[in-house]
Amino acid sequence: MANTRVISPEELERQQPFMQQVRRFYEERRPDVSPLACVRTYGCQQNVSDSEHMKGQLAQMGFGFTENPEEADFILFNTCAVREHAEDRVFGNVGALKALKRRRPEVLIAVCGCMVQQEHIAKKFYQSYPFVGLLFGTHVQHRLPELLVKSLVERRRVVEIPSCDGVIAEGIPTHRDGTFKAFLPIMYGCNNFCTYCIVPHVRGRERSRDPECILAEARELVRQGYKEITLLGQNVNSYGKGEAHGVNFPELLRRLNAIPGEFLIRFMTSHPKDATPELFDTIAQCEKVSRHFHLPFQSGSNRVLKEMNRGYTREQYLELIRYARKTVPGIAFTSDVIVGFPGEQREDFEQTLSLIREVGFVSLFTFIFSPREGTPAAKMPDPISAEEKTAWFREMTALQETLSAERLQALVGTEQKALLESDAGEYLEARLPENSIVRVQGDPARIGESVTVRITSARSFILTGEII
């Protein structure tokens, strides 16, 4: 394991007295009322999972939770740095708290996560947002109680952003937002250094959790009645690389699949260069593993893929899809794609369109390239205008919409397993294994149940069905 550090139980134990101090701090102020925390999470599922851990710690310190910053004692923004737009939203939303802090100076406002891990952004928060009392990076989240003591009890403005290769902290309590769907991180960080991407710079090196810890957590989730477990990591299929335990991602899936109970195993995100025949053979053998596969391709042009440092070609990607479809009947793909990477030409973009047509994705997450300070792509010549990139982007989303509509139409008349996920008032929403949502009539008390649904119509991207 590179230079990453497993946080020892003793080190975590050191947080206990800090937790007591925070609890006492609020009890002395308002003996009969629990303090409230408002935790806002931006970005990917990894961030959602991190927030669930920080909420677990906050709950242990006596906090309740609110969505409304106006009634919160502690406001925490867990931020994302992946695109400029994501950062701008955070700057805007944090900025909007200035007036609240003036009205209620006792509120503690904190910003953490991937944005803060970048030096220039941390500096900007420190200098231009003086009402933010606590700034901390991605590698010290397990020390939240200690940081709160410094801020609240010692009344200091705290900035804690060590640069390191990353840590693994086991045994942090988790306050999960869902009652039947759970996120389960299996690895952290990334070693791939795609030339456009900030993630390896803010999340540190790739490191995998111990398989026994993952299995124990999964067993506990199943015991608690969770019906869907999503394994998380920036690159889940390189799980276990370089670790002494010798358990790779397919083996981890096999062990999770062997846990008794009725539940679905999802995972994201996978990298094409680490997607092996063994992985698809394993999915075919494991009845609890979802037949939905999120496999970002980013570009259909070999020239651009090389510039992106993705480590595979268009042909290799298509060969993977062919092998997967042959091995796992009914497997459905979704993907991420970037338009307007520096130097991308119309011919490159057309290669992307043709790959989209050739594969037939269920859906696509589409992004316009956003230069990230400190990444190689941010320095590459980028002659294509923003207007042209936007026009390409629209062309691509229109193509995907047509393809999605055709796919949805083909589902009409079929019977599908689905998980009843939410109550939208006039109907319930159920998720198909391939990730599409279908509207059904049913008793909201059944939310969290797996059902079989007959698809009755597909109109304007909305599937409707009936529970059989």
Residues binding ligand SF4 (CB under 6 A): 190, 192-194, 197, 199-200, 234-235, 271
Shortest Å, Cβ 162 to ligand SF4 = 21
- Which does residue 359 touch among ligand SAM, ligand SF4, ligand F3S, none (CB within 5 to 8 A, set by kind)? none
**Choices 102-110, 191-199, 393-401, 454-462 (CB under 6 A): range interacting with ligand SAM:** 191-199
Q: Which of 19, 81, 147, 338 binds ligand SAM (CB under 6 A)?
A: 338
Of 108 and 198, CB closest to ligand F3S: 198
Tokens of 191: 């070693």
- Which does residue 80 touch among ligand SF4, ligand F3S, ligand SAM, none (CB within 5 to 8 A, set by kind)? ligand F3S
Query: Any contact of residue 80 with ligand F3S (CB under 6 A)?
Result: yes
| Residues 195-214, interacting with ligand F3S (CB under 6 A) | 198-199, 202-203
Q: Which of 109, 135, 184, 199 binds ligand SAM (CB under 6 A)?
A: 199
d(C-alpha 201, C-alpha 310), whole Å: 16
Query: Any contact of residue 249 with ligand SAM (CB under 6 A)?
Result: no
Q: How many CB atoms lie within 10 A of CB 324?
A: 20
The contact pattern for ligand SAM, residues 206-225, with x = CB under 6 A and - = no contact, is --------------------
Angstrom CA distances, 291 to 181, 400, 453, stand at 17, 20, 17
Q: Which of 1, 7, 12, 44 binds ligand F3S (CB under 6 A)?
A: 44
Closest CA to 248 of 263, 234, 237: 237
Query: Any contact of residue 380 with ligand SAM (CB under 6 A)?
Result: no
Query: Any contact of residue 356 with ligand SAM (CB under 6 A)?
Result: no
Query: Any contact of residue 378 with ligand F3S (CB under 6 A)?
Result: no
98: left (phi over 0), alpha (psi -120 to 50) or beta: alpha
Query: Any contact of residue 83 with ligand SAM (CB under 6 A)?
Result: yes
Query: Any contact of residue 47 with ligand F3S (CB under 6 A)?
Result: yes
- Which does residue 193 touch among ligand SAM, ligand F3S, ligand SF4, none (CB within 5 to 8 A, set by kind)? ligand SF4
Angstrom CA distances, 134 to 100, 358, 453, stand at 16, 49, 49
Angstrom CA distances, 26 to 15, 32, 104, 156, 253, stand at 17, 10, 15, 17, 44
- Which does residue 131 touch among ligand F3S, ligand SAM, ligand SF4, none (CB within 5 to 8 A, set by kind)? none
Of 235 and 436, CB closest to ligand F3S: 235
**Choices 43-51, 314-322, 388-396, 400-408 (CB under 6 A): range interacting with ligand F3S:** 43-51
Q: Total residues at the site for ligand SAM (CB under 6 A)? A: 18
- Which does residue 47 touch among ligand SF4, ligand F3S, ligand SAM, none (CB within 5 to 8 A, set by kind)? ligand F3S
Query: Any contact of residue 81 with ligand F3S (CB under 6 A)?
Result: yes
Shortest Å, Cβ 52 to ligand F3S = 14
Closest CA to 463 of 400, 418, 399: 418
d(C-alpha 79, C-alpha 239), whole Å: 25
Of 182 and 194, CB closest to ligand SF4: 194
- Which does residue 367 touch among ligand SF4, ligand SAM, ligand F3S, none (CB within 5 to 8 A, set by kind)? ligand SAM
Where does this chain bind ligand SAM (CB under 6 A)?
Answer: 44, 82-83, 196-197, 199, 234-235, 269, 271, 296, 298, 336, 338, 367, 369-370, 372
Where does this chain bind ligand F3S (CB under 6 A)?
Answer: 43-44, 46-47, 80-82, 114, 198-199, 202-203
